Structures are given as C-alpha cells and as structure tokens.
C-alpha cells in the first residue's frame, strides 16, 4: 500500500471521534512490529522517529529510509512522522527523505520566539505538502508541554494555532514523557475545553503513562493522535529478557529480538482497539 499522508489518517479519525496510534521506532524490529500489529487490527498507524532515535543511529537517512520502506510495504495505511525535532535542519532532511509529517518542538522557547520559529517551519513544510505538529508548553519551561503540572490554556492554544498555521497541536493535560507506570491523571474537562477551542486535531504525548480506560476516554473527549513509546519498549524488553533468561547459551540476536517483535506487534494491535482506531473495510 502506498505511503499515506499523515493528515489523511488524522483528519478522518478526528471527524469520527476516533484515535490514531503513533508509535515510536528505535530499531527496525519496532517498525516491523508496529506495522504487523496494525495489519492484525486492520487499522491505519503512524511510525514515528524521534530526534533522540536519530541521534542514537548517528543520522536520519539510513534509519529513515528503512522506516519508509517498511511503511510502503504495509497492507494498511501507514504514515511516517519525525517526532520532537528541535532544529529546522532536521525537519528539512525529513521532508527531503519523504516523511509525511513532522513535529517541530520549540516549546522550550519563549512564546513569541516559539511562534516565529514554528511559523517558519510550517511555511516550508506546507510548500512540500508535509503536515506539521507543534506543541505549546510552559513559557520557557524546561520540559515544555510535559513539565510536571503543566496545563495548556485553551485560548492561548487557539491563538497559537491561528498565528502559526500548524496542522495539529500537542497539549498539556496531565501526562509526562518516559513514564513506566500507567497512573497519569488526565484532566478530561480540559481536554474537552481544548477540543472546543482549538480548530485542529489534538495530540497526547506521554501516553505510555495512561491506563487503557483513560486512553479511551481521552479519545472520546477529543484527543486524536496518541503517542506511545516507553510502554512498547517495556513490552519489547520484557520479551527479550524472557528469551535470554530461558537460554543462557543464546547468541543469535534473531532468537531474542524476534520474540520482542512478536510481543510488540500483539500489544500494538490491542492498543489500537483501546484507542478506538478506525478499522478498514474490505
């Protein structure tokens, strides 16, 4: 199936009050597992590469090309997204490689600086038909939208979208990145207020820390793109640990990464049901 524009997946889901799983890739096995899980569920999905993952690999082009190849070979609609890019140069490289969307993160900047930088990225990306996500966090806050206790003001969010022209907005409603427990307390009333005030789809970062039933409720209240990374890493790593613990002589990486890939695919398929993701019809 051809690589699918991120906007086409997101806007169809938003119109139907459904969620879209956006899962982070580190190794090739992650990309393969996410697509396999989406195929099992019969749902579209977004493969994400973060700036941190790019730094781990040393460059965007090799891992980006691999992820794009996996997406293009999928049997369901798959988009490829650059997550948390902090420089226009990395955004430009992703656009040139063929990524269908980018998330430009200037949330640590003062508000006016964030607006200027984000608007410039939006103009460049829209000229290339690339969809842009941004985030609005604490003014000058180190952790931006994901600082503990941070909350997005609906009026400020609407104004930010209007002046920058972004296609989606990540908002602060109670989550934090890299949580290994699923006990984040979401502000569901604020999600509903933001949905009413902001004219573009809303994005929930740090969703690994949210319990299943609260992920479903977040989608029902107005969230569309749901980013999950740490939780899948936990699932993958648990399966690898089990495989290695069961055989002290194991040296073939396929014999332990394979179980990690299988477990992750099953969890992706399950999570897409939790998120009320669109199910494709024949």
Residues annotated as part of the active site: 83
Distance separating alpha carbons of residues 239 and 236, to the nearest angstrom: 5
Distance separating alpha carbons of residues 201 and 195, to the nearest angstrom: 8
Torsion angle of alpha carbons 227, 231, 233, 239, nearest 10°? -140
Distance separating alpha carbons of residues 83 and 252, to the nearest angstrom: 32
Torsion angle of alpha carbons 276, 193, 183, 22, nearest 10°? 40
SS3 content of the chain, % helix, strand, coil (to 5): 50, 15, 35
Q: ∠ at Cα 98 (265, 76), nearest 5°?
A: 35
Name the DSSP class of 208. Answer: G
Query: Which is nearest to 22 in space by CA: 50, 56, 54, 46?
Result: 46
Report whether 132 contacts 162 (CB < 8 A). no
Beta bridge partners of 78: 45
């Amino acid at each position: 199936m051809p690589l699918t524009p991120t906007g086409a997946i997101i806007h169809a889901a938003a119109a139907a009050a459904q969620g879209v799983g956006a899962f982070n890739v580190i190794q090739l096995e992650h990309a393969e597992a996410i697509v396999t899980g989406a195929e099992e569920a019969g749902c579209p999905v977004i493969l994400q590469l973060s700036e941190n993952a790019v730094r781990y690999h040393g460059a965007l082009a090799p891992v980006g090309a691999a992820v794009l190849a996996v997406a293009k070979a999928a049997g369901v609609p798959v988009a490829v997204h650059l997550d948390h890019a902090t420089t226009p140069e990395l955004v430009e490289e992703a656009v040139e490689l063929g990524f269908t969307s980018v998330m430009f993160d200037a949330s640590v900047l003062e508000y006016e600086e964030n607006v200027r930088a984000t608007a410039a990225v939006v103009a460049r990306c829209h000229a290339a038909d690339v969809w842009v996500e941004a985030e609005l966090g604490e003014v000058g806050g180190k952790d931006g939208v994901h600082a503990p206790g941070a909350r997005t003001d609906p009026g400020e969010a609407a104004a930010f979208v209007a002046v920058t022209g972004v296609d989606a907005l990540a908002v602060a409603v109670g989550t934090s990145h890299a949580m290994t427990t699923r006990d984040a307390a979401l502000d569901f009333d604020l999600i509903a207020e933001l949905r009413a005030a902001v004219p573009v789809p809303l994005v929930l970062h740090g969703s690994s820390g949210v319990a299943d039933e609260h992920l479903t409720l977040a989608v029902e209240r107005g969230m569309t793109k749901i980013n999950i990374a740490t939780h899948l890493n936990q699932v993958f790593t648990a399966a690898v640990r089990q495989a290695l613990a069961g055989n002290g002589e194991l040296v073939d990486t396929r014999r332990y990464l394979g179980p990690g890939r299988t477990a992750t695919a099953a969890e992706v398929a399950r999570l897409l049901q939790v998120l009320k993701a669109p199910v494709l019809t024949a």
